[in-house]
Homo-oligomer: A and B are copies of this chain.
Amino acid sequence: MSLKPAAVKAAPGKPVTIMDVAKRAGVSKGLVSFALNDRPGVSPESRERILAAARELGWTPSLRARSLSTKRSFALGLVVGRTPEMLGADPFFPSFIAGVESVLAPEGRALVLSVVPDEEAELRTYRSLVADGRVDGVFLSDLRHNDPRIPLLMELGLPAVTLGRPEGLSPTEQNPSGRSPFPAVSIDDTLGITESVQYLAGLGHRRIAHVAGSASMLHGSRRRIAFDDAVRAAGLAECQTIETDFSIGAGAAATRRLLSQDEPPSAIVFANDPMAIAGLGVAHELGLTIPGDLSITGFDDINFARYVYPPLTTVRTTPAQWGQAAARTLLALMEHGSAPDLDLPAARLTVRGSAGAPVRSASGAASVAGSEPSR
A249 contacts which chain B residues (CB < 8 A)? Answer: 306-307
Pair A134/B105 contact, Cβ less than 8 Å: no
By the criterion CB–CB under 8 Å, are B131 and A113 in contact? no
| Cα(A116)–Cα(B111), bound, Å | 12
Q: Mark A71-87, 1 if CB is under 8 A from B, else 0.
A: 10101000000011101
- A58-107 at interface with B (beta carbon < 8 Å): 60, 62-65, 67-68, 71, 73, 75, 83-85, 87-89, 91-95, 97-99, 101, 105
* Residue from B75, B84, B114, B304 within 8 A of A105 (CB atoms): B114
Interface of A is mostly: helix
Do A63 and B132 contact each other (CB < 8 Å), given the known contacts A94-B84, A252-B307? Answer: yes
B62, B114, B277, B308: the one within 8 Å of A133 (CB): B62
Which of A32-40, A182-190, A229-237, A280-288 lies on the face that meets chain B?
Answer: A280-288
Contacts of A339 in B (CB 8 A): none
The yes or no answer to A248 lying at the interface (CB within 8 A) is yes
Complex interface: chain B residues within 8 A of A65 (CB): 68
Complex: chain B residue closest to A286, CB-CB:
B309
**Which listed residue (B64, B85, B114) contacts A71, Cβ 8 A?**
B64
B94 touches A304 (CB 8 A): no
From the candidates B67, B281, B307, name the one contacting A64 in the complex (CB within 8 A). Answer: B67
Does A303 lie at the interface of the complex (its beta carbon under 8 Å from any beta carbon of B)?
Answer: yes
- Distance in angstroms between the alpha carbons of A85 and B302 in the assembled complex: 9
> In the assembly, how many copies of this chain are there?
2
B133 touches A64 (CB 8 A): yes
Answer whether A112 and B114 are a contact pair too, CB < 8 Å, given A84-B94, A94-B94, A281-B308: no
Bound Cα distance from A116 to B132, whole angstroms:
27
What residue of chain B has the Cβ atom nearest to residue A67's Cβ?
A: B64
Quick check: A84 and B64 within 8 Å, CB to CB?
A: no
A238-277 residues with Cβ-Cβ distance < 8 A to B are 248-249, 251-252, 274, 277
Chain B contacts for A133, CB-based, 8 A: 62-64
- Interface flag for A125 (CB, 8 Å): yes
A271 to chain B, nearest CB (A): 16
From known contacts A281-B309, A307-B252, infer whether A98 and B115 are also in contact, taking CB-CB under 8 Å: yes
- For the complex, is A278 an interface residue (Cβ under 8 Å from B)? yes
CB closest chain-B residue, reference A74: B132
- Contact with A95, one of B88, B114, B309, B319 (Cβ below 8 angstroms): B88
* Top-7 shortest CB links A-B: A88-B91, A284-B309, A84-B98, A281-B309, A87-B94, A278-B307, A63-B132
A residues lining the B interface (CB < 8 Å): 60, 62-65, 67-68, 71, 73, 75, 83-85, 87-89, 91-95, 97-99, 101, 105, 108, 110-116, 121, 125, 128-129, 131-134, 248-249, 251-252, 274, 277-278, 280-285, 302-304, 306-311, 319-320
Q: A67-B68, A251-B307, A277-B308 are in contact. List 17 more A-B contacts (CB 8 A).
A: A64-B68, A64-B133, A75-B112, A83-B98, A88-B91, A88-B92, A88-B95, A88-B319, A97-B115, A101-B115, A105-B121, A110-B129, A111-B113, A280-B308, A281-B307, A281-B311, A282-B307
